[in-house]
A and B are shown apart, each in its own frame.
Chain A
């Protein structure tokens, strides 16, 4: 099993550009999450999907949208990137929303 995979690993955007970060898990988990991690800070939840067909805002949702494409895939979209969105983005999944989360390797995004 690959676990949680994310693409791309690195991305540089100009202010105003859009992009979609992809995430997939092969553990048949019901819940999926998107976090951002900034230097010296912990992980902050952007959006999550407790189960296929549902999505909810986390702590820092502004500037982002998500799509739970199917049970395996959960994408994060930046419609108009801003320098404040420069960060490392992690996707995670868990069997249920109350359980242990497994993380992907991260996407390092720089917005200039």
Chain B
């Protein structure tokens, strides 16, 4: 079936490094993508989104890249901080459908 998945279940980085979290999607009709951050014991928190008519979008310290050719989404976090340690989920949707979430990648930032 069509699904959203992640390449790496756990990513460990040093404080100050740049982090890249990857996500593959299988439905070329998906037109909207979101990255969420979930800290331990809390609900998911919106980070950044991108529509399929864009290939890059930047926020504060975060950048999302969309490669529709290979159906790949990535989240780049610049100058990673210990507070960035969390599970990151990508989610996708098509038109007015509901969001479909991937399984998540845990980002561990060590000082």
Chain A residues within CB distance 8 Å of chain B: 4, 33, 40-45, 48, 58, 90, 92, 97-98, 100-106
Contact = CB atoms under 8 A, between A and B. Distances in A.
Nearest to A4: B43
Name the residue in B36, B43, B45 with the highest tally of chain A Cβ atoms < 10 Å from its Cβ.
B43
A105 B103 contact: no
Interface in B44-76: 44-46, 49
B110 to A, nearest CB: 22
Interface extent on B, as a size class?
A: 20 to 34
A9 B45 CA distance: 18
Contacts of B41: 105-106
A12 to B, nearest CB: 17
Contact of A43 (B44, B45, B46, B96): B44
B98 A97 contact: yes
A102 B46 contact: yes
Contact of B102 (A42, A58, A100): A42
Nearest to B46: A100
Given A92-B43, A102-B46, A103-B45, 17 more contacts: A33-B98, A41-B103, A42-B89, A42-B103, A43-B44, A43-B101, A58-B98, A97-B96, A97-B98, A98-B32, A98-B95, A101-B99, A103-B43, A103-B44, A104-B43, A105-B41, A106-B42
Contacts of B43: 4, 90, 92, 103-106
Given A42-B89, A43-B89, A100 B49 contact: yes
B25 to A, nearest CB: 13
